[in-house]
Amino acid sequence: MGTIGGLASVENFPKPDALSSLSRESRAAVLFHTAQAVRRSVVEMIGAARLGHIGGDFSITDAMTTLFFGVLRLDPANPAWRERDRFILSKGHCAASLYSVLAMRGFFPLDWLPTFMQPLSVLNGHPNRKIPGVEANTGPLGHGLPIGVGSAIASRLSGKNWRTFVALGDGELQEGSNWEAAMAAGHRGLDSLVAIIDRNRLQQGARTEDTNRLDPLPDKWTAFGWEAIEIDGHDHAALYDVFTRPGRGKPLAVIANTIKGKGVSFIEDRVEWHHKVPSPEQIKLALEELSR
C-alpha cells in the first residue's frame, strides 16, 4: 500500500478552514469522497495485516471524517496544543479508521499506515497515546466516555473552550461505566462534551437488541440529563450541522444511525464482518465499490 486512496500527499486532503467556506452541498461532497478514501485505506490496512474490525471501522468513518476534516480545532504540527479539541475513540478496536484519518490529516506520515499491526509497529490494534493525535489508550470498552467527562471538566476549570467528542459503539453501551459517566456529565451540565453513538445495531456475534436491548436509546440519554439527537450517521451535511452547533447547557448525545460495513455491499449489515478479514479477491471488489 504505497499511497492512500490514490493520493500521495496530505495536501490532497481537505482542511477545516477550507471546508467552512463551502456551501452545505459542496462540503458534504468533499467529505464523502474523503470518507471513501479512508475506507479504501482501511481495506488495504486490514487486508495486509490479516487482522482488524472492518465493519465497525466503516460505520464510524463518516462521523470521524466530518470531525477531523471539517470541525475539530487541531494543529497536526503540535498535537499537544493545549487548546485543541479532543476526540476519543472509545470503540478502540476500530483503530484502522482512526489511524487513516490521523495520517491524512497530517499527524504522522502516510507511509506508516502499511505497518498496521505488523511486528514492532507503533500502529497496534488499539489506539495508543504514543501515536500523534491519539488522546487516550482505548480498547477495553467503557473507558472513553469517563475520560471524555474528565476532559470536559478540565476545559471548564481551566477557563478554556475546547470541546471533547467521544465515539462509542452501541454494543459498548452495555458497559455500566458509560452510564456512571453520563450521569456525572448530565449533573454538571458539560455542554462541551459530545458523545457519538455508532448505532449500527450489531456487535460481536449478534444484534444489539437480541443481546441486551438498548431502545428507547434517546430516552435513556435524556433521563441522564443529556440532550439526545438522532441523525443519519452517513449524512455528512447532517453530521457537520450537529457537530458545529453551540452547546445548550447540556452534554449532547448524537445517536448516529449507521450501517455496519457501510460502503461495501457484501460487508454491509452482516454480523460476521465484525472482525472478518477480506480475501484478496474481496479486497479488489471492495476497492472497486469504494472508488465509484
Q: How far apart are CA 229 and CA 218, in angstroms?
A: 7
The number of beta carbons lying within 10 Å of the beta carbon of residue 236 is 25
Instruction: With CA atoms as reference, report the closest residue to 255 among 223, 205, 206, 214.
Output: 214
The pLDDT value recorded for residue 1 is 42
DSSP 88: E
Q: Which residue stretches of the chain have pLDDT < 50?
A: 1-2, 5, 7
Asked if residue 3 belongs to a domain, the reply is no
Asked if residue 285 belongs to a domain, the reply is yes
Query: 215 lies in which domain range?
Result: 10-290
Asked if residue 33 belongs to a domain, the reply is yes
Q: What is the CATH number of the domain that holds 239?
A: 3.40.50.970
Tell if the pTM clears 0.85, that is, is over it. Answer: yes
The pLDDT value recorded for residue 99 is 98
Asked if residue 184 belongs to a domain, the reply is yes
DSSP H helices in 71-107: 95-104
Q: How far apart are CA 183 and CA 198, in angstroms?
A: 20
Q: How far apart are CA 127 and CA 136, in angstroms?
A: 7
Domain count, the chain: 1
Asked if residue 116 belongs to a domain, the reply is yes
Q: For 185-197, what is each residue's pLDDT tens digit?
A: 999 999 999 999 9
Asked if residue 77 belongs to a domain, the reply is yes
Contact (Cβ atoms closer than 8 angstroms) between residue 229 and residue 188: no
The 3-state secondary structure of 3-20 reads CECCECCHHHCCCHHHHH
Asked if residue 225 belongs to a domain, the reply is yes
Asked if residue 1 belongs to a domain, the reply is no
